[in-house]
Structure 1
């Protein structure tokens, strides 16, 4: 069987749209439709339910896709092994990250990555949804958490630390020598996650005693980039990760209200992780991307203030 038909079928199953696949392949939509019709004729089954507006896999189509995906993956790996002597990797790498982390920490690295690997097609899925790596056929994910799922392989890129920050003017209005308990009397800017909008945990540096302080606020925001903007505008104190506010703290645009404390909403042991579905048969482009990101984030950690 023509393996190109199988690849077209897998592409249509992922989209699912003849027109979208045709655009990616720079061909007419009719040729994609004919390829699917040819494959269905050879198999003697219908692979897609089609209407004027929707397209979905039939039960037979789902079974067939599950069987051929490993075959197509093996063919792609074999191709990469043959071409492994090339200076620059090729193919498509799909990487996902949260909107904020991707914008602040990942996008500044893309120009250099592009210069190093000009033949690699990069698809960045910046979303706050926790995408399934296998279902979405994602090669790598940048995740912010204390750990990651046991069925994934992970590399810790850097630890994260949280700070209670406010604009200089707002910080001055609060007075000196703040203690954690003072937070309960402030109108804070809150992230719209259950742990972040109810109470924050405080611990003195190099001390184990943890104090949980209730928080309240009239402004609740679902995006940390907007939350930082609100803090910069002097609307109140908020809890944000170091990677998001490091430059603002250095430049004096924000002030750390509790520099002698560790603060968090969930766990003090959190980090940025690079995770992927499997260590086995890792494509060369994925290995090179992992090495690139590890080196860059290691540099970020080394440059960060103690």
Structure 2
């Protein structure tokens, strides 16, 4: 069966008439009619009911056409995927991540990415809200979570660890902070997410996790601002390692419990790359995922 003929049959069904389909194809309506008739003859069944005023699918036609359209789409995607193998990745890549993750983990590597893939135009959409990928035409999202949920396809970029930190200035004037339970007497800096507000979790060695209530008069909805508040000596904060490792190395922040696992949700958390479709992954998205996984590792 000729694929182009099948595409014409599908187009007739979508447009609702031979005339409308012929206008899309810029051909004579009689040519479209002959093509449909030839397909029907080869199939041995009638796909459409014709009259002088209307055209509608027969019962057999509805079944056939409902199965035909996804197959044609799959063929087009297979052709596009095969072509992309032989050419450099190109096009516009729209990527979203949290404001802090974009600032700390993506933007510093953009020059390397552009040197490798000069034909890819990047649109970075930093947002602390989980943007809808379909509604916002987003190709790739980076989400931080114990495990991704929903219908999106996901792949792990890197594991993440949380630490409780404070500035040397704060520690010089604060009360003792030798164990997690001491946090109850301190004005903790808290992230605005519900699970971060009221208690932090700790685990040492093989011991069972311990929940420590936390409180404080400053709640911040952005991790970069929360880090800056900690650097300014306003109190202890619970932050991801990728955001504060450099500060700990420089001594501008102190890891309060280096031998203890810390979290607000689950102890095993990660940065995940999420994208909409499992059946077809454009090369621009594939190379971006591979690039980020290599850089973040």
1:154–1:215 CA distance, 2 compared to 1 (3 A):
same
Structure 2 match to 1:84: 85
Alignment of 1:218-257 (within 5 A): 218-257=217-256
Task: Give distance in 1, aligned partners of 2:254 and 2:291.
Answer: 32
> TM-score scaled by structure 1?
0.70
User: Over residues 116-137 of structure 1, what are the superposed CA-to-partner deviations in whole Å (9 max), with x where a residue is unaligned?
Assistant: 1111111111111111222322
Alignment of 1:9-28 (within 5 A): none
1:78–1:199 CA distance, 2 compared to 1 (3 A):
same
Structure 2 match to 1:156: 156
Task: Give distance in 1, aligned partners of 2:283 and 2:231.
Answer: 42
Unaligned runs of 5+ in 2: 1-19, 25-68
Q: What SS does structure 2 have at the residue aligned with 1:290?
A: helix
Task: Give distance in 2, aligned partners of 1:176 and 1:106.
Answer: 37
Q: Is residue 276 from structure 1 mapped to residue 275 from structure 2 by the alignment?
A: yes
Task: Give distance in 2, aligned partners of 1:180 and 1:105.
Answer: 29
Q: Is residue 122 from structure 1 mapped to residue 122 from structure 2 by the alignment?
A: yes
> TM-score scaled by structure 2?
0.72
Q: What SS does structure 2 have at the residue aligned with 1:133?
A: coil
Q: What SS does structure 1 have at the residue aligned with 2:197?
A: coil
- 1:76, CA displacement in angstroms? 7.6
- State whether residues 171 and 257 of structure 1, in contact with CA within 8 Å, keep that contact through their aligned partners in structure 2: no
Aligned residues: 232
The structure with the largest alpha-carbon Rg is 2
User: Over residues 177-199 of structure 1, what are the superposed CA-to-partner deviations in whole Å (9 max), with x where a residue is unaligned?
Assistant: 61111111101111112111111
Task: Give distance in 1, aligned partners of 2:277 and 2:290.
Answer: 16
Task: Give distance in 1, aligned partners of 2:210 and 2:225.
Answer: 28
Structure 2 match to 1:113: 113
- State whether residues 189 and 236 of structure 2, in contact with CA within 8 Å, keep that contact through their aligned partners in structure 1: yes
Unaligned runs of 5+ in 1: 1-38, 44-67, 299-306
- Cα RMSD of the aligned pairs, angstroms, is 2.5
Q: What SS does structure 2 have at the residue aligned with 1:187?
A: coil
Task: Give distance in 1, aligned partners of 2:286 and 2:107.
Answer: 19
Task: Give distance in 1, aligned partners of 2:123 and 2:75.
Answer: 21
Q: What SS does structure 1 have at the residue aligned with 2:294?
A: helix
Structure 1 match to 2:213: 214
Task: Give distance in 1, aligned partners of 2:135 and 2:219.
Answer: 32
- 1:74, CA displacement in angstroms? 7.5
Alignment of 1:195-206 (within 5 A): 195-204=195-204, 206=205
Structure 1 match to 2:293: 294
- State whether residues 177 and 183 of structure 2, in contact with CA within 8 Å, keep that contact through their aligned partners in structure 1: no
- State whether residues 77 and 283 of structure 1, in contact with CA within 8 Å, keep that contact through their aligned partners in structure 2: no
